[in-house]
Amino acid sequence: MIVQFPSPNPEWARKEDPNALGQWHKYYSTHPQYVLNLLRKGGAKIQMLPATTWKCRSTVSFDCFIDGHLCKFDFNDHEAINRDEAEKYRCYFKFHYHKTHDVGPRAENLFPFSPVNIHDWDLYWKLAPTITYRAEGKILNNQAPAGNAIARRKYVAEILRKHYGKELDTERYPKEEFFKLIRTASAIVCVPGARNNMLDRGQGQQMLFGACTISPKLNTRLSFHSLLMPGEHYIECKPDYSDLITKIEWVRKNKNQAILIGKQAQRLFLETSTPKRQLDWIRQCIHRK
């Protein structure tokens, strides 16, 4: 696979004024870099070109050429897709794709793509054999209140503090320490970000390490149109979190089932979202008949 990929443009980087124009690469280190890391680790041949090679001027998507075909990666947290624009792409890869994207004009060009999870795959493969989820220990809720999730995450954290006190861990940690917390965690509570039904980056990472997580129902599809099924890959709580304590106590009382759910989640991600599998998916989509 040969990929022409946009280089980061300093003039398009994040500016001090969040409302200033021209910040098209303000999320480059998160989303485009995630895709670039996948492509490199998966064995694609990468040619870095100036971002001005493409007409795309967006803070939530970027264009590239893959095996000579124009493709787009859309990492917008929200659901809207410009279907008229999608027509010019061989593949329009959408993070947080869900079933409503299956219908409508140009649906044949649209494909789900597993959203941001692991950036450093060498670190993941190093740590994965050393991290075993046993469904024992503290309740984890290590998410920063931000964006559309500020009110929800503060609300959930307060519920957990009142009920669990010192049994709860809500601190923020460097990435490697965050991953290692899974070893001594019982229930892991994840409050989604921009929308209350989307897969959060941290939740995806915890699933990749085999942890059982609790969240409202997720509608995000992974690559290969794979679905995250409640009761199979995570524990579903109500969208208002009114049954959250009940779900946590279920995990604590049913450790073997929680461990199985974590293993099934990990298996799904390993089947769909590693660099090799993501390249297989891109290749399958681009070279479809």
* Each residue's pLDDT tens digit, 109-164: 999 999 999 999 999 999 999 999 999 999 999 999 988 899 999 999 999 999 99
pLDDT tens profile 180-218: 999 999 999 999 999 999 999 999 999 999 999 999 999
pLDDT at 79: 82
Do the bridges between strand 221-222 and strand 226-227 make them parallel or antiparallel, or are there none, so unpaired?
antiparallel
pLDDT value, residue 18: 86
The enclosing H or E element of 59 equals none
Cβ-in-10-Å burial (0-12, 13-18, 19+) of 9 comes to middle
Q: What is the mean pLDDT of the chain?
A: 96
- Of residues 98 and 270, more confidence is placed in 270
Please list the residues that pair with 111 across neighbouring strands.
93
Q: What is the pLDDT of residue 103?
A: 85
In terms of phi and psi (left: phi > 0; alpha: psi -120 to 50; beta: otherwise), the region of 126 is: alpha
Contact 63, 93 (CB under 8 A): no
- Does residue 120 contact residue 278 with C-beta atoms inside 8 Å? no
- Sorted by where each starts, the structural domains of the chain and their CATH numbers stand as 2-114+274-286 (no CATH), 121-272 (3.40.50.2000)
| pLDDT computed for residue 173 by the predictor | 96
